[in-house]
Amino acid sequence: MDAQQILARRRNAGFAAFFFSGICAISSGVVVSLLQEQYGFAYGVTGTLLSLMNIGNLTAGFVSGVLPGILGGMKRSVLLLSLGYLVGYGLMGFTGAAALLGLGFFLVGAAKGQVINTCTILVGDSSPDRTRGMNLMHSCYACGALLCPFLIAAAGRAGEKAPLFLLAVLGFALWLAFAVTPMGPAGKKAGGKIDWSFLRSRRFWLLTGLIFCQNATETSVTGWMVTYFKDSGIIAGVLSTYTVTVMWGATLIGRLLIAFVFPFKNPRRAMVGMGAGCLAAYIGLMLARSQTPAIVLLFLFAFAMAGMNPTAVAAAGRMTSVTSIAILLPAASLGAIVMPWVIGMVAEAVSLTAGMASNIVPCLGMLAFAALVARLPEEETA
């Protein structure tokens, strides 16, 4: 097998794994709603389960840089952590014990974090055009996310546990995609000195804050919106689970337009516009009391959010390095841990409507950080 064939296999494995991850990761929001119905969990427990998933994501982000050295190679580390989808959803299918469900969500999160890191390496390092390759990879994720409610609904006809076992099987398919793929050794180049100067950069911390708020906002919506629509009666029955498709359809459209049709001429101003759009759409979503306005506003919210994360990461410019990204992304992912838990606690103490309304705070934070990044001198944003 020549070098080009190896690169093609690595790239295709990244696309396939990210597609399966889109189904398995985004299904967690629907799954937690199903589990709440089956076992009658309080909102606080539901929020804790979602937060445990994001703790697993954060943990994988950190340990994936250490495990290859301990286990003797990148592939062994990848195969170990990516088992999380299979084992995590399998646990959820076999038990209703809160502690084991928490472990299951943690493992699902760990698999998600490992897949993000691994696919970024496989596709980024194997694509002739890195920008196009990464956009195609994220489009594969969005396609998987679009399919997840249809697959869960179809599996649900076979029994209430069937969707969980289907997700475990898809997690195994993801694992197989990595198992048959050649992977090079991981780690920094010999003799390389780690440059920590980015920690003194105002731009680094503003972007970290921006992505923190973006993760908090987006994860809270994907994790809680199905439950909110059901409990409030805005969108009832099976139809509520398809709101995930609305959100990811808008995300896919937005990302493809940015990548191939309308690339940003001024990314800093674009982030301010996206932040303002997210805030306005989310406030409207909280005021919506009927099905059609809620669906339209959810679409607009996701469309405005679609380009925020990749644009913010791209804004790091020359500051970007393996080390800086390894600090920025896990630190920013704390938002995805904190906010779903906060919503659960507010819902428990007041109401779920109040909990969802509290998500306006990170929306405001996202807009504020975007405005601060836009005010940086031109040379700081190169």
User: DSSP state, 242?
Assistant: G
Report the alpha-carbon distance of residue 366 to residue 328 in Å, rounded. Answer: 15
Report the alpha-carbon distance of residue 231 to residue 7 in Å, rounded. Answer: 48
Cα first-last separation, the chain: 40
Catalogue all structural domains in the chain, each as residue range(s) with its CATH number.
1-182 (1.20.1250.20), 198-382 (1.20.1250.20)
For the cut 90, the answer to whether the pLDDT of residue 274 exceeds it is yes
**212, 332 Cβ separation under 8 angstroms:** yes
Amino acid at residue number 191: G
pLDDT score at 3: 77
pLDDT score at 209: 95
For the cut 60, the answer to whether the pLDDT of residue 190 exceeds it is no
The token pair that represents 193 in the structure block? 């000195």
Q: What is the mean pLDDT of residues 46-54?
A: 83
**pLDDT cut 70: percent of the chain above it:** 88
> Which of residues 220 and 122 earns the better pLDDT score?
220
pLDDT in tens, 64-94: 767 777 777 778 888 999 999 999 999 999 8
Return mean pLDDT, the chain.
Answer: 83
For the cut 70, the answer to whether the pLDDT of residue 187 exceeds it is no
Report the alpha-carbon distance of residue 354 to residue 250 in Å, rounded. Answer: 26
Report the alpha-carbon distance of residue 219 to residue 233 in Å, rounded. Answer: 22
Exposure letters 367-381 (e unless 16+ CB within 10 A, then b): bbbbbbbbeeeeeeb
Q: What is the mean pLDDT of residues 121-136?
A: 71
For the cut 50, the answer to whether the pLDDT of residue 328 exceeds it is yes
User: DSSP state, 125?
Assistant: T
pLDDT score at 123: 78
Report the alpha-carbon distance of residue 354 to residue 372 in Å, rounded. Answer: 29
Model-level pTM greater than 0.85? no
Backbone angles phi, psi at 66, to 5 degrees: -105, -40
pLDDT in tens, 97-113: 888 999 999 999 999 88
Other Cβ atoms closer than 10 A to 358: 16
The token pair that represents 299 in the structure block? 């679409």
Report the alpha-carbon distance of residue 350 to residue 371 in Å, rounded. Answer: 32
Report the alpha-carbon distance of residue 94 to residue 307 in Å, rounded. Answer: 38
> Which of residues 262 and 364 earns the better pLDDT score?
364
311 pLDDT band, cuts 50/70/90, is confident
Other Cβ atoms closer than 10 A to 80: 16
pLDDT score at 315: 72
Report the alpha-carbon distance of residue 111 to residue 108 in Å, rounded. Answer: 5
